[in-house]
Structure 1
Amino acid sequence: MSFPKVLLTVGFISLFHSAFSAAQHRSYLRITSQEFTTLPLDIVIQAVGSLFAVMWGVMCIAGNLREIQAAAELNNIAWETQMNVPSFYMFNHRLRAMESSYIPTSGKGDLENLE
């Protein structure tokens, strides 16, 4: 095993032990009817030290980061087909009114007069 893996394992065990010690301290205070103010310094130091050991071990084990290419699937598509979006096709627009053979359809008011 490598050193970061050992450090990570020891850090997790130490972090679990500090949490267990904190719970035991709270139950001791309840049994003796004392008020809880703060945790003892040795538990706090153990928790913070083991937290840093776990973080350092995880950073060493994780390895190097790789770049995420958001447009990786678009690299194989030709430029002409990228802009071809059929859902944006529109055939009912005002340019049709400029045609010489255009006959306007009945409006909303004309539809009410139909029998």
Structure 2
Amino acid sequence: MGSKFFNKLLLVAGFASLAHAAFSAAHHRTYLRLTEQEWTSLPLDVILQTVVSLVLVIYNIIEVVGNFKEIRATVDMQQKTWDTLGNFPSFYSFNHRGRALNPGYSLDGSDAYENN
């Protein structure tokens, strides 16, 4: 639990650092325009901050999201037996009209089975 929180904290710090690097790059560009200098590239510290922040964000997103699943459906299907392949619990219906065909069924909701 603590590891997940730490990874989320590092993820937020990585995004903040990435936003700071973008702001620094825009600020550097504005500075070059004001001093009428030619723009060649960003300073090395801005480039390093961007790369380190990007690596930090990518790693912590992978850690926070959790386990990946295989893209191929056959990998998940290999562990299932033939009995479980056709099993769809969401289609089970226990309240249907076949219950009314039961001779012990009463309309007031009390079944003969409950009285036994």
- Segments of 5+ residues of structure 1 without an aligned counterpart are 77-115
Distance 2:20 2:70 in 1: 38
TM superposition shift of 1:46: 0.5
Distance 1:46 1:67 in 2: 34
Runs of 4+ in structure 1 off by over 6 angstroms are none
Distance 2:65 2:37 in 1: 44
Say yes or no: does 1:61 pair with 2:70: no
Task: Report the 3-state secondary structure (helix = DSSP H, G, I; strand = E; otherwise coil) of the residue aligned with 1:64.
Answer: coil
Higher helix proportion (structure 1 or 2): 2
Corresponding residue number in structure 2 for 1:24: 27
Select which of 6, 11, 34 maps to 1:8.
11
Aligned identity (percent) is 49
**In angstroms, what is the RMSD of aligned CA positions?**
1.9
- Segments of 5+ residues of structure 2 without an aligned counterpart are 78-84, 87-116
Distance 2:46 2:68 in 1: 34
Distance 1:39 1:67 in 2: 40
- Please, what TM-score do these two structures have when normalized by structure 2? 0.58
- Structure showing greater relative contact order (alpha-carbon pairs closer than 8 Å, 6 or more residues apart): 1
Corresponding residue number in structure 1 for 2:51: 48
* 1:48-92 per-position Cα deviation (integer Å, ceiling 9, x unaligned): 00000000110100111224537x7xx43xxxxxxxxxxxxxxxx
State how many pairs are aligned.
74
Corresponding residue number in structure 2 for 1:88: none
